Amino acid sequence: MTAPAEDKVEETLDVFHRGAFHLVQPALKGHRSGVDAMILASAVPGGFAGRAADLGSGAGAAGLAVAARCPKARVTLVERSGLMAGFARKTIAHPLNAALAGRIDILEADVALKGKARVLAGLADNSFDFAIMNPPFNEPRDRTTPDPLKAEAHVMPEGMFEQWVRTAAAIVKPGGGIAIIARPGSIRPILDALGGGSAG
């Protein structure tokens, strides 16, 4: 979870969701959020009023979009990278996001943790009503970027994708919702992992 200090990384302030919030994110390194985050957030019903987890949130674009669309929702941004969690903190602290900041929490934790380690990290069973995630779904054999932070955001080691899904299934209450952006070929692993219930 070590990373360069945020103030050593060039950043941008980008407008999202028709000005509903602003995102502080790295200009050149790591993953930059875009329309995919808005698509993911749109999977949460507009009248949602519970607790939502944005797993692997990066700087927080999808989670903030949920908070902007659902004024009664509380959102937890879950991010392993210390650098990206730092950008999420900058985003929440920005004055232009003051209207949303009180309903956003940041949890620096690894979504792939299992069992007791996951619970101790703050991802307890049945603690959320909805989980959204856009996990790294490229395989290690795919061509990767030379930027190690961006590669971490785009490429997932074998078995980790399924563990992310198991974590989502574990932390969401019965009857809750899970939204995932993934390749069509991942449907079977997703269904298999969801079938495991809260075993993650």
Judge contact between 23 and 16, C-beta under 8 A: yes
What total of structural domains would you count in the chain? 1
At 150 the pLDDT is: 54
Tell me whether residue 121 is exposed, middle or buried, using C-beta atoms within 10 angstroms of its C-beta: 0 to 12, 13 to 18, 19 or more: middle
67-111 residue pLDDT tens: 999 999 999 999 999 999 999 999 999 999 999 999 999 999 999
Distance of alpha carbon 111 from the chain centroid: 9
Residue 145 lies in a domain: yes
At 80 the pLDDT is: 94
Q: What stretches in the chain show pLDDT beneath 70?
A: 1-7, 30, 137-159, 196-200
Residue 159 lies in a domain: yes
Distances (CA, A) of 125 to 2, 90, 91, 100, 115: 27, 29, 28, 26, 9
Residue 200 lies in a domain: no
Which residue's structure tokens are 């490229």?
138
Tell me how long the chain is: 200
Residue 1 lies in a domain: no
Long-range contacts formed by 157-160: CB under 8 A, 24+ apart: 160/112, 160/135, 160/136
Print the domain residue range for 126. Answer: 6-195
Judge contact between 136 and 155, C-beta under 8 A: yes
